[in-house]
Structure 1
Amino acid sequence: MRSLKRAVLSIGCLFAFAVSAFGQSDLQKIMQERKLTEQDVLAAAKTYQPSGRKDEFIVFSSGGQSGQVIVYGVPSMRIYKYIGVFTPEPWQGYGFDNESKAVLAEGRIHGKDITWGDTHHPNFTEKNGEYVGDYLFINDKANPRVAVINLKDFETTQIVVNPIIKSEHGGSFVTPNTEYVIEASQYAAPLDDLWHPIEEYEAVYRGAVTLWKFDYASGRIDVNKSFSLELPPYMQDLSDAGKGISMGWAFTNSFNSEMYTGGIEKGLPPMEAGMSRNDTDYLHIYNWQILEKLAKDSKNYKIYNNHKVITIEAAVKAGALFLIPESKSPHGVDVTPDGRYIIVGGKLDTHVSVYDFKKIKELIDKKEFASKDPYGIPVLDMKKTLHGQVELGLGPLHSSFDSKDGIVYTSLYVDSQVVRWDYKSLKVLDRINVHYNIGHLDTMEGKSAKPIGKYAIALDKLSIDRFNPIGPLHPQNHQLIDINGAKMDLLYDLPIGLGEPHDVVSIQASKLSPAVTYKMGTNSRTGKQHPAMTLAGQERVERDGKNVKIYMTAVRSHLNPEHIEVQKDDNVTIYLTNLERAQDETHGFAIDNYNVHMSAEPGKTASITFIADREGVFPYYCTEFCSALHLEMFGYLYVKDPNKKYESAKKMQLQTLSPQALETEYQKILATNKATDEVIGSVVKFLTEKGYEKYPKIKEQVVDALDQYSKIKEVKDKADAAYKAKDLNSAILWEYQVWQYLVKTADVGLRAKNNLVRELSTPMSPAATRGEVAYLEGGCNGCHVIGQVSSGPDITGALLRHEKGEEWIFSFIKDPAKHYEEEYVKALINYFNLRMPNQNMKDSEIKDIIEYMKWIDENAGLN
């Protein structure tokens, strides 16, 4: 009761604060118009991230049938990225450039391209059972594959194809120090890739669990050191690895202990009937540390498709494989953070079972078994291994843990609920409805040895009435739940309009350290220097018969070369190196009509190969809006048919300027360049005097600016030479190229200066901070540029231009029209040919803007 009162009081306080901060009438009006309750406002406050504020957690979600991974933040639930994994992703050029095509080619099955995937279970690399944000693994259920994603750049770097199983669901789960990535089969099938009739099901059909060896140093799965364990045809499902007391062991549940094979077309009961007859199915328990030793001796395994498969017989003989009965049709197996307990939910049971590994190990050590299955695997007594069972509701599936000892959250598929309970005392503590039919769920780092909790994410299969109707196919729904209080609180609905996002894993954002740029010339898929890295001055075209190689660079705001000539049916490869050093200056490359695209982040080298099978002229351009001169960043591909005769079109006579007019144009661009260069000189002087090199981010921008500036001399020499030769047309064009380099230098340099000014400025008060936000959101910076006259007067010193500066500024912003006839304002209107519009600022916003203007004046000497 006390906690309830505190919660109500907290909501009331927050509501009162919101009312006072934003104005009672405005907030109440919005709440009334949108039919929002105080609880709604509280939920919004818990998830809202102001512009520039970053999320505490990053979530990686499977993309289901898209074959991709979705990345979003918590608590904001903002989607950040789609990572191409098993299928192409055009924005990042995945599946279009040669380097990513090579990764996708690793996923071919028997030489055949697989153009879709069904991603299911993402998992991080681990150390001591704790999540490490170095790599992410994700499996493909439909085409048994596992992919490795490098979290330095969020790109897929490897795909491995399972050589023996035809489908899987129990992947990709990681052992506590990322020794192995576990992938368990789903539907039993012959391991030898040959035809066998269904009547041979029990004799020939098999399940398996593959242990992919991960080489942390290279960030790749070592296929040659990987192996599998043969399992009975029980339809294996999810897996989890032991830790702590259960270190070295792993657990995979299953359904169809009946080994029923269906035949509805023959008049037999369907699969669903025959596979749920028994009261229990089997939890597989195996020791991977023993298995890896068995894999070193050929007498313990068979070879299928050049892959080692340890036999059931060898595993049983070595004491590495056991079974325990579990509730029928289980779908989740989760090891507790300390490794002591294993939690299993059965879809067709209202209970979850909590197994005690201590009891399991004691029975194994004493060789106390209840029976053996038809394949000779020892079966432990279920009752003797249980810590206990607890009734949660209909359809318990998956569990995830809290930072509080013993607390776990379990999804109920049929009841559409998340239940909080204590797996030690076996008591239910709380439950909350979700919408609808939840599958997986996750708490923050909830499957690790050190779960954080705080939030839970419900992965709901149906959304029905939750969102605007968009046709028969609805988005699926990820719901964010606050689990901090005594009662769970549903905060946010996130529609996912991509595939079937089956499962997620979450990690503290602080544990991720992605690179902001690549080392120059990097092949992002290998992490090594690309052999075709091209630096400035190395651009070239090489021809070897019908093979043409173009070594190209991209930098704001041109591609070099800008003209490429090839012959029809040439095999063309373009290597593109992004020479930028500043972060987020990505350049893309596409040739119109040729279905080619690549993305090159700063420092990256990527390539595309295509047959120039169409005659004509095809523009190519940068696909990323990278600068003010982005539209000018293009060139032409000329494809000429060598078997055709081309008659030259009659050249049109162009009107040219007189020599005097050309001279005037030349002198005008010279003056412009001189003035721009003086601005750059003043910026460089400021940066140098203020010690820019002490600030790494600013130093990076200065280096980038100076790199642009260093290109000017060569171009300027060409302009001067053309002028000396009386070729005024060429001289003017080269001077315009000088101007482009000057503009790019000034652009980066001024950004560096502004950032340095912020570093050196006095801290802002909360009111001044709010004032800056109001200033920017109000569009004031469209006319007023701090430190210089622009479309409107410089606001620096504006408070000092009037006897009662603060009062006058307040009145002028509040109602500009009231001051239009004042002599001072009339002079401004005449000079700028503009009138200050009414931005409808609130009084509180105007007061904050005045505080911001005071801060500007206080730091005016820095500009």
Structure 2
Amino acid sequence: MATRLSKLLSLVVSTSIAATVASAAVGGELQKIMKARGLTEKDVIHAAKTYTPSGGRDEFIVFSSGGQSGQIIVYGVPTMRILKYIAVFTPEPWQGYGYDEDSKKVLREGNIRGREINWGDTHHPGLSEKDGKYDGKWLVINDKANPRVAVIDLKDFETKQIVVNPVFKSEHGGAFFTPNSEYILEACQYAAPFDNNYHPIEEYKETYRGGVTFWKFDPKKGRIKPKDSFVLELPPYMQDLSDAGKGASYGWGFTNSFNTEMYTGGIEVGMPPFEAGCSRNDTDFLHVYNWQKLAKLAKNKKNYKMINGIKVIPMSVAVANNALFLIPEPKSPHGVDVSPDGEYITVCGKLDTHASVYKWSKIKKLIKNHEYAGKDPYGIPILDMKKSLHGQVELGLGPLHNQYSNVDGEIYTSLYVDSQIVKWNYKKLKVLDKVNVHYNVGHLCGMEGKSADPQGKYIISLNKLAIDRFDPVGPLHPQNHQLIDVSGKKMDLLVDMPLPLGEPHQAVAIRASKLHPEVRYKMGTNTKTGKPHIGKTLAGQERIVRKGKNVYVYATLVRSHINPERITVNKGDTVTIYLTNLERAQDETHGFTVDNFDIHASLEPGETAELKFKADIEGVFPYYCTEFCSALHLEMMGYLMVKDPNKKYVSAQKLKMKKMSKAELKAEYDKTVAVNAATDAVIQSVVKFLKANHYEKYPTVKALVEDALDQYGKIPEQKKKSDAAVKAGDYEKAVLFENMIWQYMVKTADVGIRAKDLLVKKVATKQSPAAEAGERAFGEGGCGGCHVIGKVSSGPDLTGVLLRHENAEKWVKDFVMDPASKYNDPYVKSMIDYFNLKMPNQHMNEKEVKNIIEYLKWVDENANLF
């Protein structure tokens, strides 16, 4: 077993860190873990392929629909770690989405016919493209339940716009970008009248309609332009998913359908159910349209009619201009996917075991020669299926969705009924491999697998059922996303990931290197518009303004206080609070709420947000920072006091409390000043170290130092106030100002020490694998509980410990493995007497101790840094 395990590890790991793991395996530690947990060698390989060390990064970022949550889920590959939920169509309390006024404005853009809609069913996310390749700038997603499309800015992963489809009553097939993000395609699903009037179901064929909306998109501003958008009217076939042509087929679009029978059900009147009537025909229709030509037609009023404020191009106009065609496709298809070069179009039908591959050059030739097999009832030309096909291949039961490989001709298809993923060649029409998944897979997510530049490496199976895969949590199970390694000849299922938010329907993945999100905003930014907020408030500008029964509060938040700390209003006042986060440090978010008023804001560094509510109940209501932001987080609060202007209030008798004498206050003041001086000495030593080691060369360290200096820069103003209080003999107030100075010093020291620790890692000599293992053993073994490298703590500083004894490495090894054997050693005895503490036996093995010694050697090499 040990020999086989060594071979295994040599294949899996080749870095210096991996060498440490291998050495641990030789000592039997890995074998013990494998035995205890019942792991196989294959399990270890899978773990190595998906594990990323603490602080590591993923190669790909996945944006998954959140289904009925109305949100988007963001996670990394290969770790499958969830990184964020993006609020889109539903309120999200943590981020304050739907609770502050600015996000409410975005959410309310999604109102339909004057009605508030506060939930959504997100389905198909789409990434903006340039030349058919993902550019990492914008993300869009549709709402199946309420036909809408939202735009998310990938600079901050926030929803910026929601547009409502004014003619569709349902949609499933959105949102899909054209290759240069000119348009976003959104297809209708369940046919309905375009107007908002009642029409009997008996008029289905005459008045009910399907369609595709072409939302004009501005890729620079990242906004949909409804006035420049238009709809292509289609028959009342149930349109489904779409894909835009690219390369050879650029300028064209493809949308599949089901229920070309135009059946309308009616089990309540004795008719067969929908699914019976919708499956009568042998084939359904693939819609083929020239969106470039349609866009030109939409510029002339004679080619469209306005319905509910949007341009609608009738079928007859599209047909007359050779811009709309139909091709028979497999029964009940659920996706259409254009190959990276745009030449092949793959369609799978749920009720057909075959995948059908169409060839664009053949379709183009049929269109050019006006070679039609007939027309549908609405006069749309039908192209011959056999003449349009490149060929068909039998894949299995329930083929659904496709993703392309980076290998020419390779494609992956999900099999819903068989619960499998099949790899096959769409050019050679040959099945290459299959792998089982758990269970009933719907969509697939490849790494940029629907772009012109698929990356291969991984496929994610978005399974509808989890059944027995996870710990039971009640009748409602999570969905199961399974990561599959497709880099080898055989597909290899690596790991399961439960997703317990909504029903994640479809996902798209992009290389993490293409994403460049900001870590802070320009001070006072309205993050929903990207412009300066009307309520932008800088330090020193805090104020409360009353205009009649409207009260405007201009407030700031910074570690660790909210300014102002007291707000008094009258019952019945409308209160508007503008909040600005003054932080510049990365990840220093502040939240804000007023108890009992159902409002919340989340403010990232530099952001300004607006909260508005009516103070309709009398009382005293604490407000506080909801994000644990600093050591003094609990003190970051204030009071909203709502009084009834029609009541007379009698002051409660003041409690008589013993006051400190002036001498006692003077002693407390002197003590506080001394503590501040000592704290400042620590800060100056850190500053000296940072300057000496050129912190400005390292952007991350520099950002921390700038934040620390920002906190430190607030001290002189407080010192002036303290000195003025002392001069006036008011030591009680002087102590308060000195305490405020200490708080700023603590914040400065906290950030400064983080900067120093980070700088040490950057300028120190590189650790050997053994030293890295030793540092881990030092931390995990509890050594840091008494010993702090670089200073005396509960135990002596270990910097230079290898210089204090003859044959020091052996001495340290013996002492760590058997401390009691040296308790009577004169040196050790003096340490025990000084620290009043004996070194405990941490029961480390020889390998761990040897690695700790290597770590201590590294410490000595870099002693000047500690």
* TM bucket normalised to smaller: over 0.9
- Provide Cα deviations, 1:568-591, integer angstroms capped at 9, x if missing partner: 121111111111111011111122
In structure 2, the residue matched to 1:808 is 811
In structure 2, the residue matched to 1:280 is 283
Q: Write the distance in 1 (CA, Å) between the matches of 2:696 and 2:33.
A: 49
In structure 2, the residue matched to 1:3 is none
Identify if the C-alpha distance between structure 1 residues 12 and 516 changes in structure 2 by more than 3 Å, giving closer, same or farther.
Answer: closer
- Which of 730, 744, 752 is equivalent to 1:741? 744
Q: Write the distance in 1 (CA, Å) between the matches of 2:295 and 2:633.
A: 56
Q: Write the distance in 2 (CA, Å) between the matches of 1:340 and 1:795.
A: 68
- Which of 279, 290, 295 is equivalent to 2:293? 290
Identify if the C-alpha distance between structure 1 residues 380 and 496 changes in structure 2 by more than 3 Å, giving closer, same or farther.
Answer: same
- Provide Cα deviations, 1:836-856, integer angstroms capped at 9, x if missing partner: 344443433322222222111
- 1:376-775 equivalent positions in 2, closer than 5 A: 376-775=379-778
SS in 2 for 1:575: strand
Identify if the C-alpha distance between structure 1 residues 424 and 614 changes in structure 2 by more than 3 Å, giving closer, same or farther.
Answer: same
- Provide Cα deviations, 1:201-228, integer angstroms capped at 9, x if missing partner: 0000000100111111211111111111
In structure 2, the residue matched to 1:366 is 369
1:471 maps to a residue whose letter is G
- Which of 38, 61, 74 is equivalent to 2:64? 61
| Higher mean C-alpha deviation, range 609-618 or range 10-19 | 10-19
Q: Write the distance in 2 (CA, Å) between the matches of 1:23 and 1:494.
A: 31
CA contact (8 A) 1:124 1:137 kept: yes
| Higher mean C-alpha deviation, range 675-684 or range 606-615 | 675-684
In structure 1, the residue matched to 2:165 is 162
In structure 1, the residue matched to 2:90 is 87
Cα displacement (A) at 1:291: 0.5
| Higher mean C-alpha deviation, range 268-277 or range 800-809 | 800-809
Q: Write the distance in 1 (CA, Å) between the matches of 2:646 and 2:659.
A: 37
CA contact (8 A) 2:8 2:41 kept: no
1:619 maps to a residue whose letter is P
Q: Write the distance in 2 (CA, Å) between the matches of 1:185 and 1:493.
A: 33
| Higher mean C-alpha deviation, range 645-654 or range 818-827 | 818-827
Cα displacement (A) at 1:7: 14
| Higher mean C-alpha deviation, range 412-421 or range 779-788 | 779-788
| Higher mean C-alpha deviation, range 795-804 or range 19-28 | 19-28
Cα displacement (A) at 1:24: 5.2
TM-score computed with the length of structure 2 as normaliser? 0.97
CA contact (8 A) 1:11 1:39 kept: no
TM-score computed with the length of structure 1 as normaliser? 0.97
CA contact (8 A) 2:153 2:160 kept: yes
Q: Write the distance in 2 (CA, Å) between the matches of 1:834 and 1:509.
A: 50
Q: Write the distance in 2 (CA, Å) between the matches of 1:26 and 1:92.
A: 43
1:305 maps to a residue whose letter is N
Cα displacement (A) at 1:301: 0.9
Q: Write the distance in 2 (CA, Å) between the matches of 1:417 and 1:9.
A: 31
In structure 2, the residue matched to 1:128 is 131
SS in 1 for 2:457: strand
Identify if the C-alpha distance between structure 1 residues 585 and 39 changes in structure 2 by more than 3 Å, giving closer, same or farther.
Answer: same
SS in 1 for 2:427: coil
CA contact (8 A) 2:5 2:41 kept: no
Cα displacement (A) at 1:11: 7.4
Identity %: 67
- Provide Cα deviations, 1:446-499, integer angstroms capped at 9, x if missing partner: 111010010110000001111111111111100001111111111101011111
- Provide Cα deviations, 1:211-269, integer angstroms capped at 9, x if missing partner: 11111121111111111100000000000000000000010000011000010111100
In structure 1, the residue matched to 2:37 is 34
Cα displacement (A) at 1:165: 0.2
SS in 2 for 1:224: helix
Identify if the C-alpha distance between structure 1 residues 609 and 759 changes in structure 2 by more than 3 Å, giving closer, same or farther.
Answer: same
CA contact (8 A) 1:445 1:451 kept: yes
| Higher mean C-alpha deviation, range 804-813 or range 615-624 | 804-813
Cα displacement (A) at 1:802: 1.8
Q: Write the distance in 1 (CA, Å) between the matches of 2:617 and 2:839.
A: 56
Cα displacement (A) at 1:605: 0.8
In structure 1, the residue matched to 2:190 is 187
- Which of 317, 329, 332 is equivalent to 1:329? 332
- Which of 832, 841, 848 is equivalent to 1:845? 848
| Higher mean C-alpha deviation, range 831-840 or range 330-339 | 831-840
In structure 2, the residue matched to 1:230 is 233
SS in 1 for 2:226: strand
Cα displacement (A) at 1:660: 2.2
Cα displacement (A) at 1:285: 0.3
Cα displacement (A) at 1:699: 2.2
| Higher mean C-alpha deviation, range 836-845 or range 463-472 | 836-845
- Which of 118, 123, 140 is equivalent to 2:121? 118
How many residue pairs match? The answer is 858
**Structure 1 gaps, min length 5:** 1-5
Cα displacement (A) at 1:821: 3.9
Q: Write the distance in 1 (CA, Å) between the matches of 2:559 and 2:648.
A: 38
- 1:811-830 equivalent positions in 2, closer than 5 A: 811-830=814-833
Identify if the C-alpha distance between structure 1 residues 177 and 817 changes in structure 2 by more than 3 Å, giving closer, same or farther.
Answer: farther
Q: Write the distance in 1 (CA, Å) between the matches of 2:834 and 2:373.
A: 96
Q: Write the distance in 1 (CA, Å) between the matches of 2:300 and 2:404.
A: 39
Q: Write the distance in 2 (CA, Å) between the matches of 1:834 and 1:738.
A: 35
Q: Write the distance in 1 (CA, Å) between the matches of 2:9 and 2:488.
A: 13
CA contact (8 A) 1:294 1:300 kept: yes
- Provide Cα deviations, 1:142-195, integer angstroms capped at 9, x if missing partner: 100100111111111111100100110110011000001110000000001110
| Higher mean C-alpha deviation, range 652-661 or range 535-544 | 652-661
Q: Write the distance in 1 (CA, Å) between the matches of 2:146 and 2:573.
A: 36
Is it true that 1:216 corresponds to 2:219 in the alignment?
A: yes
Identify if the C-alpha distance between structure 1 residues 22 and 631 changes in structure 2 by more than 3 Å, giving closer, same or farther.
Answer: farther
Cα displacement (A) at 1:789: 1.5
Q: Write the distance in 2 (CA, Å) between the matches of 1:815 and 1:631.
A: 45
Q: Write the distance in 2 (CA, Å) between the matches of 1:111 and 1:87.
A: 17
Cα displacement (A) at 1:107: 0.5
SS in 2 for 1:89: coil
Identify if the C-alpha distance between structure 1 residues 671 and 242 changes in structure 2 by more than 3 Å, giving closer, same or farther.
Answer: same
Cα displacement (A) at 1:410: 0.1
Q: Write the distance in 1 (CA, Å) between the matches of 2:48 and 2:670.
A: 59
Identify if the C-alpha distance between structure 1 residues 91 and 836 changes in structure 2 by more than 3 Å, giving closer, same or farther.
Answer: farther
Q: Write the distance in 2 (CA, Å) between the matches of 1:787 and 1:334.
A: 61
Q: Write the distance in 1 (CA, Å) between the matches of 2:106 and 2:519.
A: 22
Q: Write the distance in 1 (CA, Å) between the matches of 2:148 and 2:158.
A: 17
- 1:292-307 equivalent positions in 2, closer than 5 A: 292-307=295-310
CA contact (8 A) 2:144 2:170 kept: yes
- Which of 355, 363, 370 is equivalent to 2:358? 355
CA contact (8 A) 2:462 2:481 kept: yes
CA contact (8 A) 2:99 2:600 kept: yes
CA contact (8 A) 1:475 1:497 kept: yes
1:314 maps to a residue whose letter is V
1:488 maps to a residue whose letter is M
- Provide Cα deviations, 1:653-694, integer angstroms capped at 9, x if missing partner: 112222222221111111111112222223223333333323
Identify if the C-alpha distance between structure 1 residues 240 and 689 changes in structure 2 by more than 3 Å, giving closer, same or farther.
Answer: same
- Which of 62, 72, 80 is equivalent to 1:77? 80
2:159 maps to a residue whose letter is T
